[in-house]
Structure 1
């Protein structure tokens, strides 16, 4: 009854779900929404499964005036759009062929057969519109026990899709308690070579989610011990990451990645991260900026002028982790002071040089550079008139 009441409250909040159940009365909520309903967590995506083939789903949605997009029709998925909210509706499936990355599927009307192809027992439950829970593999018991385990045999599930090894640890971080499932751990340890076919993008997606999630060290330690972490990317440094976490650094997967792989200069390239993230990692690895807690206001303004605030803050956390490895009020004050400073902007331009009678060409650059060096030496404080006065009194030497 508690489950039914919880479900009814969510139906009241979701006009779209109520409409879809009118169109597809035998459809059920599946996956993460059921799992999170059971453990009282916030529900993000309301995904449904149905025994109706995808073409029939489209017909029914269109007849009801519901916008739909064939986002993954080859795998049986139609996305319905109601009040700008997406709802994925997937036809029940069974795997015909798998190669460790992709699966060839066929439609089925057997709910248990569809549940049997899912990764973990806690993700294999389904819930109908009457609040009846269908749990073929004891997922509710596992959820209550904090036991993340594969549906069927761990080895078979990982062989079907090697990314499930990483997904196992991501779900273990969020829903697990105690040691990782022994069968899953052993299967991952015994078949590390299965990970070699995974794309960098898929590895990055899961690894960054783990780094941004809960129980980071409790999750990475068994990943490291079973060989998965060093197999994917060489030379992880758990001590360095733990020191960063002990500083109460912000939840930031890229910052944590830099701490986890301080000696792997190519980790951003290896994971095929975005250019922005690769640039950020490169800045964190550079010698500059050099940070000291006793910096004067002038030094801090120069720092803000030369480097982006994000780069300085990143470097401050890594420096604090390296030097102290624990919370430090001085570093907090330092970051607060930096963040409170306005970005200094050098007040002169090429037009100012021309107006001052500086000949075109390299002399303009030399004039601006001389002015900027003096402006920076004064703590990036002088205004335009003061810079012009200085340059007038200190002309370029021929």
Structure 2
């Protein structure tokens, strides 16, 4: 990472694949043809390039009005989609990928969630309404860096400082409090801006005005960082976690899961990390899933991770592979692996068997087919209904307890007796 960046320095496209990408070049060329020098890369793509981080999404700020962006895109054979035209944003599709192109704007009115905007031709006005100085960096078509708010001074050490007054920026959109901690989790150097943290704490009640979907989305992004532990600890210290979740959670178990990910080279799993952070049993998870309006799939995953029905079997799995098979058969491989990892993360002493072996066993385990069907029981005289279901459940439980060894004939014989 080059640390001596200053306004007027240049991002060399030859060193940045996202800048020389033909899809990116096509969008910028279309905008430049409509107004030379009127469009610049902005936000995360510039920030990450300067930090030496990967660039995922490319956003562009322009002096062109939305209808002019649409016309410029069509003239170049690109597809414009008015995804946020009221706020000046047009998604221009190039090589099948969307590039958000937003007209320079200033906030006229805000209520902590939404803003009424007016378009402008002033780059400084556009920069002043952004959240953090590091997100208010621009680079033109040739890569020349423009820094209207002093964001380059925040690169080393990397920290996120609000543009202007921290309180003003947070009151404009309370989600910026969560974004502060999310960016710290992903990019921070351990020296967060004290003014921003203090403002976030003072204005934490404003988080109640946010929709549950926005809070959960932001929290998942934060927990997806390679090591969000320090940022989550800051959230607990400044009473942000208790404000959005009602609890501060268990940082010890969360750190245990994070350390597992790092030591085993696993991709961050925000859902498992959330379970570790929240702690508690099925009732707490049910309440949290409803509070944050999680999807049904997310809720089921979390419930499986704390299902208490086979706690003994999961604990026994660390010494008994037969118990592991029984637990996987009943819980499912995903829930079993989650419970194994949570159990290992919560143990003060190392468990008797390495959790990675049990996790691998769960991922590779092939469930045998239960050899008895409902039709077999009907042939024995059972009527379809609850009695047949109870008999099947009892038979299957016996089969699992015997490590899936009884044959169909042996199971039928057991029923006859």
Q: TM-score, normalized by length of structure 1? A: 0.90
The counterpart of 1:279, out of the listed 300, 310, 333, is 300
* Residue of structure 1 equivalent to 2:29: 22
**Alpha-carbon shift at residue 326 of structure 1 (Å):** 5.7
1:263-301 residue CA offsets vs partner (Å, 9 max, x unmatched)? 344222111111111122222233132212455444333
Task: Measure the CA separation in 2 of the matches of 1:196 and 1:351.
Answer: 55
**Alpha-carbon shift at residue 94 of structure 1 (Å):** 0.6
Matched, 1:190 2:210: no
Q: Is the 8 A contact 2:16 2:49 kept in 1?
A: no
Q: Which moved more, 1:290-299 or 1:169-178?
A: 290-299
The count of corresponding residues between Structure 1 and Structure 2 is 392
The counterpart of 2:258, out of the listed 229, 237, 245, is 245
Q: Gaps spanning 5+ residues in structure 2: where?
A: 1-7, 33-37
Q: Is the 8 A contact 2:11 2:145 kept in 1?
A: no
**Alpha-carbon shift at residue 136 of structure 1 (Å):** 0.9
* Residue of structure 2 equivalent to 1:201: 213
Q: Is the 8 A contact 1:289 1:315 kept in 2?
A: no
**Alpha-carbon shift at residue 243 of structure 1 (Å):** 3.6
Specify the SS of the correspondent of 2:368.
Answer: coil
* Residue of structure 2 equivalent to 1:268: 289
**Alpha-carbon shift at residue 367 of structure 1 (Å):** 5.4
Task: Measure the CA separation in 2 of the matches of 1:90 and 1:117.
Answer: 13
The counterpart of 2:12, out of the listed 5, 18, 21, is 5
The counterpart of 1:65, out of the listed 77, 80, 83, is 77
The counterpart of 1:321, out of the listed 345, 353, 356, is 345
Q: Is the 8 A contact 1:99 1:161 kept in 2?
A: yes
Q: Which moved more, 1:27-36 or 1:300-309?
A: 300-309
Matched, 1:254 2:267: no
Matched, 1:116 2:140: no
Call closer, same or farther: CA 1:304–1:120 in 2, change over 3 Å.
same
**Alpha-carbon shift at residue 357 of structure 1 (Å):** 4.7
Task: Measure the CA separation in 2 of the matches of 1:123 and 1:32.
Answer: 6
Alignment of 1:102-141 (within 5 A): 102-141=114-153
* Residue of structure 1 equivalent to 2:384: 361
**Alpha-carbon shift at residue 8 of structure 1 (Å):** 6.7
* Residue of structure 1 equivalent to 2:35: none
Q: Is the 8 A contact 1:30 1:47 kept in 2?
A: yes
Call closer, same or farther: CA 1:364–1:144 in 2, change over 3 Å.
same
Task: Measure the CA separation in 2 of the matches of 1:45 and 1:82.
Answer: 13
Specify the SS of the correspondent of 2:143.
Answer: coil
**Alpha-carbon shift at residue 46 of structure 1 (Å):** 1.3
* Residue of structure 2 equivalent to 1:305: 329
Q: Is the 8 A contact 1:247 1:325 kept in 2?
A: no
**Alpha-carbon shift at residue 261 of structure 1 (Å):** 1.2
Matched, 1:375 2:399: yes
Alignment of 1:136-175 (within 5 A): 136-175=148-187
**Alpha-carbon shift at residue 95 of structure 1 (Å):** 0.5
Q: TM-score, normalized by length of structure 2? A: 0.87
Matched, 1:288 2:305: no
Specify the SS of the correspondent of 1:208.
Answer: helix
Task: Measure the CA separation in 2 of the matches of 1:47 and 1:260.
Answer: 33
Task: Measure the CA separation in 2 of the matches of 1:329 and 1:394.
Answer: 35
* Residue of structure 2 equivalent to 1:332: 356
Q: CA RMSD in A?
A: 2.4
* Residue of structure 2 equivalent to 1:97: 109
Task: Measure the CA separation in 2 of the matches of 1:270 and 1:224.
Answer: 19
Matched, 1:396 2:416: yes
**Alpha-carbon shift at residue 303 of structure 1 (Å):** 2.0
Q: Is the 8 A contact 1:29 1:127 kept in 2?
A: yes
Task: Measure the CA separation in 2 of the matches of 1:325 and 1:91.
Answer: 57
Specify the SS of the correspondent of 2:74.
Answer: helix
Task: Measure the CA separation in 2 of the matches of 1:273 and 1:114.
Answer: 34
Q: Is the 8 A contact 1:6 1:37 kept in 2?
A: no
Task: Measure the CA separation in 2 of the matches of 1:257 and 1:380.
Answer: 34
Call closer, same or farther: CA 1:328–1:230 in 2, change over 3 Å.
farther
Call closer, same or farther: CA 1:325–1:75 in 2, change over 3 Å.
farther
